[in-house]
Amino acid sequence: MTKKRKHQEDFQKVKLKVGKKKPRLENATDTNFKTKAIYLPEQLKEDGILPTNNRKLNIKDLLSQMHHYSAGVKQSALLGLKELLSQYPFIIDAHLSNILSEVAAVFTDKDSGVRVAAIRLLQFLAPKIRAEQIAPFFPLVSAHLSSAMTHISEGIQEDSLKVLDILLGEYPILLTNRCSMLLKNFVELISHQQLSKNLKSREKISWMLSVNPNRRVTSQQWRLNVLIRLKKFLQALVDGSSGSEDDEGIQEQKENSQFMRNSVCISWKEHASNQQHIQLYENGGSQPRIDSAFRLRSLVSVTDSMEKGLSSAENLKGFIEIIIPLLIECWTEASPAQLAAPILGNLLEPESQQLMQQVLSIIYLLWKLTKQHDETHKMEAWLRMNYLVDFKHHFMRHFPYSLQETIKHKKRDPYKSTKYYMTSSNSVDHLLLNLTLCDIMVSLASASTLQMDSDWLDMIRKFVTETLQDGCRLNCKQLNRLLGVTWRLMQIQRNKVATETLIKAVYILYQQRNLLFPVRMLLLKFFSRVYQKEELSSQKIRSRSKVLSRWLAGLPQQLALLGSRKPELSKQLIETIHSAASHSNKEFLQSLQATASRIYDPVDGTLVLLPAESQKRLVQLVYFLPCLPTDLLSSLSRCCIMGRMSSDLAATLIGILRMRSSFAGWKCQVQDSSVNDVDYFSFLFSTLTGFSKEELTSLQSIKGKPHISQTQLSPVHLYLTDLDQFLHHWAVTEVVCHSLSTIPSRSQCFDILQNGICKYLVGLAVIPDSTAGSVLCAMSKLLDQACILSENLHKFLASCCYSLLYFLLTLDKEDAEHARKRDMLWGSCISVLALVPRVFRLMLQSLQVSRACREELPVIGQLLRLLMQHGQLRSHMVTSELLVQQIVKDIMTLKSGEVQEQWLTDLHYCFNIYLATHPQGPGAISTEY
């Protein structure tokens, strides 16, 4: 039965029926999957095969294709190269020399498509190759560039400028090293040589502007293109040779930056702790000079080491001789003289204006280059002799150039017009042109040639004055140029009338209310430079400019008004104020004195608002104030103690006041009594106290545990200050104590201090702990045999001491904030107690234990024990042994009947050892607790 059933289960017959689906077999293969092919676009890199691009060409193939005769192949090779290199940047490093030599070779390719591809490739490559990497190949690249520039076909010439742009953008220094060759190319691009007819001056070759009708662009456009490049190139040359030196306008003088570079600044603390070392070298310098530019063999120009480009004066002269006639020709073509009659205002077309701008900028850059040579005067004389007449004739005839209305141009090509006239509403763009012209012309004039040049100098001066007067819309760069011209004009013409009008014009601009910050800064620098110049020149005959002194007198006011809004501006102001004050300019000092109370206001004065660096200068300025009245000193004292100045700075201030007081000088010397002795003392005392009278009275009402520490045995309650405040106060206290201790008549000084304490502190119920500590510290520093303390003071000191000691002993060990006060306060208490036995005795007398509540007993016991352990105090205790005995006995009686605690046994032990047996032996046991 069972067997049969099993059999049936194993071999069950599947019954297939018509109309029903055939069930799936269990072992049927599922065939509904799809396959996809895997492509491997990249090969494994490890094996020797070089990586290839999409068309499976590796670098070698591509480079060899560059020599193919077909332009299409070459172009595709360049494109492939770009693709390949962007995929595998490491190839660039490995094959740099091959790539560069091949790519550079096709700069001069006949097919424009190839050139475009080559330029694109270069554009892609240039940012990836560093200047050091390309430097060894640069002679090759530049040779190809040069041959492209001088190529006979115009298309190649035009494209060569694009190559130049790229190279100039990435490798300006490398390119300027080869300037002799390139400059010649530039000249040849826009002109051709012409042998002069007469044979005598065979060497003197004159150059003519060339006109080539075959070009795609007009020759004027072409010239503009070339000139723009030339200007860029010269700019790079100027930048490279003058290093970081800025425009000569109003910038900082070069020397200053040099000073900063070479000198070593060290703070004493670090030197003393051996963190900083000083090493001076034999021949003067504080640093060995390693950044020498000398090279045995110039990397770039191996062959033509003889010619030095424009760095030699002769070459520069030669180039100027060639280029300036050309430039003048360009100018005359573009200038409005071509229009029938000189129109009023000399309106300019934008294109020609562009060209003129380029011409002038090139001349300006050339002038700058001439100034870098040693014999500047000779050079200037030479320039003046050769070109002044031409320039006057061509440039100055229609001098203040202005721009034609640009509305119609805007319609014609909106793109261009927006590009050019974005910044300006048709009145400012021409300014650059005019300013460049002014720059050029003014540098041709000098003080000695003033009479001859007065006509055109007057024109320039008029222009500058007018521009300055309505110059509120000038931007920073324009103003810089303008001020540069102004400065130069003032240098040329030294008489007072001429400079005064110029300064006045600048001053009118300065007085504008809503100037941008950098503009304001520039004006400020300009004025301070003018001021310094005047200080130097008119030392004896103080023929000061009125405008300038008005400006100077307004400075403190401005500083006070400025507050904390513009710290940089304030810094600059303070610099100028400082130098004027140190030069003891009388009018200025008066105005400074008048605003001093606002600058040094403790609440919202400039001093407390500015950052630390400026604060330092302001504190130093205190030295130069002609007199320091009482209210100023009191606000200075508030500044010191309020903690908005660092404690170092407060120390500096106290030191400066000490120098100003009559105690720093020699006894017999006649002192100008700028600081009253009384004021000086009250300054020191209020700084020592650390809290104003109002603050102290408001403290009296504070009650409660977290802020107040009080004991029943002393009338003085302590207000617990923050740790920061405490530390600041303590640092100031030490300086004040030192100042007090240097005053020659010690006992009088002490009397004054004593009076102050009696008057202001004695009788207060709540005293800040820092103040109590400071008073004790000052006492201990100042006391000597000659001083007599009043009874009141004795009592006050005794109760202060006890309060402080009680506070220290009840201090929670874990309370990190107050724990740091411990050493300082303990030290000052102990030293006062040791110095004045009477205070000690009074303190012991005040320990009337019978009245004390029981909680205080352990503290008193501990205190007595610690005091006994102190060697000097012990001897005082011996003299008042009965008193101590009484106290100990009182404690015993109060404590009797209970279990002997640890502190009690300790006290007992100490008392027995130190006092009961009159020991002589053990000296100073450490006062650790």
Partner 1 sequence: MAAPMEVALVTDAAGLLSNCSVWELHSGSALPGYRGGNSGARGLALLGGEHLLGAQLGKGYISVWELQRKDQLQQKIICPGLVTCLTASPNGLYILAGIAESIYLWEVSSGNLLAILNRHYQDLTCLCFTDDSSHFLSGGKDCLVLVWNLYSTLQVEHSQIPEPRHVWSRHSLPITDLCCGFGGPLARAATSSLDQTVKLWEISSGELLLSVLFDVGIMAVTLDLSEYHMFCGGMDGSIFQVDLCAWPVQRDRAFHSERENGKIFKGHRNQVTCLSVSTDGSLLLSGSHDETVRLWDIQSKQCLRTVNHKGPVTNAFITLAPANMFNPDSKPSVPLPKFSKHLHGTESSEDQGAEGVTLRLGLHQQVVGESYLEKADRLYSQMCLTREKNLMGDQEQLKIQVTELEDEISTLRKINKNLFDFSARIITKSAK
Contacting positions for partner 1 (CB under 8 A): 258-259, 262-269, 271-274, 277-280, 283-286, 535, 539-540, 578-579, 582-584, 617, 620, 623, 648, 651-652, 655-656, 658-659, 664, 666-670, 738, 741-742
Residue 457 CA to chain centroid, in angstroms?
38
The maximal CA–CA distance of the chain, rounded, in angstroms, is 144
User: Which residues on adjacent β-strands are paired with residue 195?
Assistant: 205
Report helix, strand or coil for 212.
coil
Beta bridge partners of 753: none
CB of 650 to partner 1, least distance (A): 12
- Shortest reach from residue 334's CB to partner 1, in Å: 47
Beta bridge mates, 767? 718
**Given the complex with partner 1, which of 6 and 261 has the nearer CB atom?**
261
Q: Which residue lies nearer to partner 1 by CB, 413 or 823?
A: 823
For residue 494, the minimal CB distance to partner 1 (Å) is: 15
Which CB atom, from 121 or from 580, has the smaller least distance to partner 1? Answer: 580
Give 139's contacts (C-beta < 8 A, 6+ positions apart): 178, 300, 301, 302
Amino acid, res. 451: Q
Please, are residues 229 and 161 in contact by the beta-carbon 8 Å criterion?
Answer: yes
Taking the complex as a whole, the smallest distance from the CB of residue 236 to partner 1 amounts, in Å, to: 30
For the bound state, the minimum distance from the C-beta of residue 288 to partner 1, rounded and expressed in Å, comes to 13
Cβ atoms of 621 and 578 closer than 8 Å? yes
What is the rounded end-to-end Cα distance, in angstroms, of the chain?
Answer: 104
Measured CA to CA in angstroms, residue 442 lies from 125, 239, 370 at distances of 44, 22, 15
Apex 480 CA angle, 478 and 482, nearest 5: 70
- Kindly tell me which of 333 and 535 has the beta carbon lying closer to partner 1: 535
Instruction: In angstroms, give the least distance from the CB of 253 to partner 1.
Output: 12
Nearest-approach distance from CB 633 to partner 1, in angstroms: 19
Across 405-530, where does the E strand assignment appear?
Answer: none
Q: CA of 841: how far to CAs of 8, 795, 833, 836, in Å?
A: 122, 10, 9, 9
User: CB neighbours of 187 closer than 8 A, spacing ≥ 6?
Assistant: 207, 322, 323, 326
Nearer residue to partner 1 within complex by CB, 97 or 584: 584
CB of 535 to partner 1, least distance (A): 8
Q: How far is CA 151 from CA 114, 156, 176, 180, in A?
A: 16, 6, 21, 18
DSSP bridge pairs for 205: 195
Q: Are strands 205-209 and 191-195 parallel, antiparallel or unpaired?
A: antiparallel
Nearer to partner 1, 375 or 672 (CB): 672
| Distance in angstroms (rounded) separating the CA atoms of residues 639 and 850 | 46
Nearer to partner 1, 31 or 785 (CB): 785
Asked if residue 435 lies in contact with residue 485, where contact means CB atoms within 8 angstroms, the answer is yes
| Of residues 275 and 912, the one with the C-beta less far from partner 1 | 275
Q: Please state, in angstroms and rounded to a whole number, the distance separating the CA atoms of residues 363 and 369.
A: 10
**Shortest reach from residue 520's CB to partner 1, in Å:** 24
Packed helices 517-537 and 476-492: angle between N→C axes, nearest 10 degrees: 10
Pick between residue 22 and residue 269 the one whose CB is nearest to partner 1.
Answer: 269
Residue length of the chain: 929
The distance of closest approach from Cβ of residue 260 to partner 1 in the complex, given in angstroms and rounded to an integer, is 9
CB of residue 251 vs partner 1: minimum separation in angstroms?
18
Which residues are 348's β-sheet partners?
Answer: 403
Q: Which is nearer to partner 1, 655 or 871 (CB)?
A: 655
Q: What's the rounded Cα separation, in Å, for the pair 847 and 69?
A: 115
CA–CA gap between residue 464 and residue 402 (Å, rounded): 14
Of 470 and 648, which CB lies nearer to partner 1 in the complex structure? 648
Quote the least distance from Cβ 259 to partner 1, whole Å: 5
Query: Encoding tokens for residue 609?
Result: 């608002």
Name which of 563 and 655 has its Cβ closer to partner 1. Answer: 655
- Amino acid occupying residue 421: Y
772 touches 718 (CB < 8 A): yes
Two structure tokens written together for 446: 């000098």
C-beta separation of 573 from 562 below 8 A: yes
187/649 with CB nearer partner 1: 649
Report, in Å, the least distance between residue 390 CB and partner 1. 37
State the minimum distance, in angstroms, from the CB of residue 614 to partner 1.
12
For partner 1, the closer CB: 28 or 670: 670
